[in-house]
Amino acid sequence: MKRNLLGLATTTALVFAFTGEALATEWNVSVWGKRRAFTENVEKIAELVSAKTNGEFTMNISYGGLSKAKENLDGISIGAFEMAQICAGYHADKNPSLTVLELPFLGVDSLEKEVAVSQAVYSQPSVIADLARWNATLLMPTPMPQYNIAGVGDAPTTLAGFDGLTVRATGGIGEAMSALGAIPTSVPASEARQAMDSGVVKAVAFAPHAHMSFGTIENAKWWTTNLNPGTVNCPVVVNTDALNALTDKERDALLGSVDEALAYYIDYYNNQTMAKWGPLLDSKGIQRITYDADTLSAFRDKVAGPAAAKWVEENNARGLPAQELLDVVHNAVAK
């Protein structure tokens, strides 16, 4: 009898042990490249969630080991991993509602405003439904400053200098480049340096952190300081089923950490990444190209209106309330 009771106690202990293990939640997170300013919101939210749950909810962040950048949304849709960064311009046809945030010359002039405008769009029912097709829930933006262009060869000291230039540019930035006669090419960020070195493109449109992280500044001869044609929108998304499966404590820890993770990201970008940018350009002797106000105004007038009108027409045809989404953007910018 004693032996049976001991066996029962042992079995019960093992059940509790395995149950305790099962209660711990571990998410896999797919990003790409290497750790950099762009991924600091992901790194920070993982740190915060683990701390708030005493290590019962953790995240394994993989830099390219789980999926290619352009396939992260597909991976989320099938539950291959629970969280990922995506960029709308990488697959505009899969998330057309988000591409309103990639239109050129929206008037967003700070990372804080980029967050506010993105979150205003993310909360729209049509956007939620658009991402729900991929079993994805938008968690937070990855705010980036306006893109500018680094390149090799003759510097485009006037806008006419972009005519015929092959430029790595996606989304609305690609539209803006096309308006100048450039030839936009969609290349994943991690392949941009190779494309530039091999001559597939002569220039690359990136935010400063990406030029540094992906090495496109290493051989560049010039940099546009204030072309500012737009930026890309790269939210962090989670698998909806995985989100719904969290306990209340875990879900509160995740959602309640978004603001803190974004605040950390913005501080990191402004005070660490940008502090390195100017000295790096100086050390490499890279020519800075700054366009005058009249030139930039003419560029905006030529690009912004037609690009927005085209976007509204195309996305109305997709069944999206396109003008309503564009109005959400303009109203958020105005605030």
- pLDDT number for residue 22: 52
pLDDT of residue 97: 98
Of the chain, the percentage scoring pLDDT greater than 90 comes to: 82
Q: pLDDT band for position 1 (50/70/90)?
A: very low
Q: Rounded to an integer, what distance in angstroms lies between the CA atom of residue 71 and that of residue 73? A: 6
Using DSSP's 3-state secondary structure scheme, residue 206 falls into: strand
State mean pLDDT over 84-104: 95
Number of Cβ within 10 Å of residue 306's Cβ equals 13
Question: At 32, is the secondary structure helix, strand, or coil?
Answer: coil
Query: 223 in helix, strand or coil?
Result: strand
CA 296 from centre of chain: 26
Q: How far apart are CA 286 and CA 289, in angstroms?
A: 10
Q: Rounded to whole angstroms, how far apart are CA atoms 239 and 246?
A: 11
The beta-strand segments (E) located in 53-170 are 57-63, 83-85, 136-140, 148-151, 166-168
The pLDDT tens digits for 278-291 are: 999 999 999 999 99
Tokens representing residue 101 in the block = 């945030």
pTM of the model: 0.84
pLDDT, position 8: 40
With a cut of 90, say whether residue 3 has pLDDT above it: no
Output the CA–CA distances (angstroms, integers) from residue 206 to 25, 30, 54, 120, in the order listed: 36, 21, 38, 24
Residue 7 predicted with pLDDT over 90 = no
Distance CA 1, CA 20 (A): 28
Those residues with Cβ within 8 angstroms of residue 282's Cβ, 6 or more apart along the chain or in another chain: none
Tell me if 206 sits within 8 A of 216, measured CB to CB: yes
Distance CA 202, CA 195 (A): 8
Distance CA 298, CA 106 (A): 15
pLDDT of 298 above 80: yes
pLDDT(296) > 50: yes
Across 164-175, average pLDDT: 91
Domains annotated for the chain, with CATH where assigned, are: 25-143+233-273 (3.40.190.170), 148-231+286-334 (3.40.190.10)
Q: How far apart are CA 273 and CA 66, in angstroms?
A: 27
Token duo for residue 113? 């405003």
Taking only the tens place, the pLDDT of each residue in 209-218 is 899 999 999 9
* pLDDT confidence of residue 17: 47
The answer to whether 209 and 38 have CB atoms below 8 angstroms apart is yes
pLDDT surpasses 70 at 10: no
Average model confidence (pLDDT) for the chain?
A: 92
**Per-residue pLDDT tens for 311-323?**
999 999 999 999 9
CA 154 to chain CA mean position, Å: 30
CA dihedral 143, 296, 172, 309 (to 10 degrees): 120
Would you state the pLDDT for residue 171?
82
- For residue 183, the surrounding DSSP H or E stretch is strand 183-185
- Would you state the pLDDT for residue 172? 85
Residue with the bigger pLDDT between 263 and 302: it is 263
Instruction: Label the pairing between strands 236-239 and 25-31.
Output: unpaired
Average pLDDT of span 152-157: 95
